[in-house]
Amino acid sequence: MIVSEVRAFALSFRLENAPRRGSGQPIKKDMVVVRVRTKDGITGYGEAHHALAPTVVADIVNTNLAPIVVGANAMEVEDIWQKIYTKQGQTHGPGWAFYKALSGVDMALWDARGKALGQPVYALLGGARKKIRAYAGGVCLGYQPPPQLLAEAQRFVAQGYTALKLRLGDTVERDIERVRYVRKALGDKIDIMVDINTRYSLLDLKHALPALEECRVFWIEEPFTPDNLADYAQMNKRTLVPLAGGENHFTRFQARQLLETEAVDIIQPDPCKTGGITECKKIADLASAFRRPFAPHTGMSCIDSAACVHLLCAASNALIYESDCAAINPFRDELCSGAPRVEDGYIEPADAPGLGLEVDEKLFARFPGIPGPCYI
What are the residue boundaries of the structural domains of the chain, listed by start? 3-118+362-366, 122-355
| For residue 75, pLDDT beyond 90 | yes
pLDDT tens string 215-243: 999 999 999 999 999 999 999 999 999 99
Q: If you average pLDDT over every residue of the chain, what do you get?
A: 95
Cα–Cα distance, 335 to 317 (Å, whole number)? 30
pLDDT tens string 164-206: 999 999 999 999 999 999 999 999 999 999 999 999 999 999 9
Instruction: Please report the pLDDT score of residue 299 as a whole number.
Output: 75
CATH topology of domain 122-355: TIM Barrel (3.20.20)
pLDDT tens string 3-61: 999 999 999 999 877 766 666 788 889 999 999 999 999 999 999 999 999 999 999 99
Instruction: Print the SS3 string covering the chain.
Output: CEEEEEEEEEEEEECCCCCCECCECECEEEEEEEEEEECCCCEEEEEECCCCCHHHHHHHHHHHHHHHHCCCECCCHHHHHHHHHHHHHCCCCCCHHHHHHHHHHHHHHHHHHHHHHCCEHHHHCCCCCCCEEEEEECCCCCCCCHHHHHHHHHHHHHCCCCEEEEECCCCHHHHHHHHHHHHHHHCCCCEEEEECCCCCCHHHHHHHHHHHHHCCCCCEECCCCCCCHHHHHHHHCCCCCCEEECCCCCHHHHHHHHHHCCCCCEECCCCCCCCHHHHHHHHHHHHHHCCCCECCCCCCCHHHHHHHHHHHHHCCCECCEEEECCCCCHHHHCCEECCCCCECCEECCCCCCECCCEECCHHHHHCECCCCCCEC
| Whole-number percent of the chain with pLDDT over 90 | 90
Burial class (CB in 10 A: 0-12, 13-18, 19+), 59: middle
Residues 6+ apart with CB under 8 A from 149: 141, 166, 178, 181, 182
Same fold, 3-118+362-366 and 122-355: no
Computed from CA positions of residues 212, 136, 370, 51, in that sequence, does the dihedral angle turn out positive or negative? positive
CATH, domain 3-118+362-366, list 3.30.390.10, 3.30.1330.10, 3.30.450.40, 3.50.50.60 = 3.30.390.10
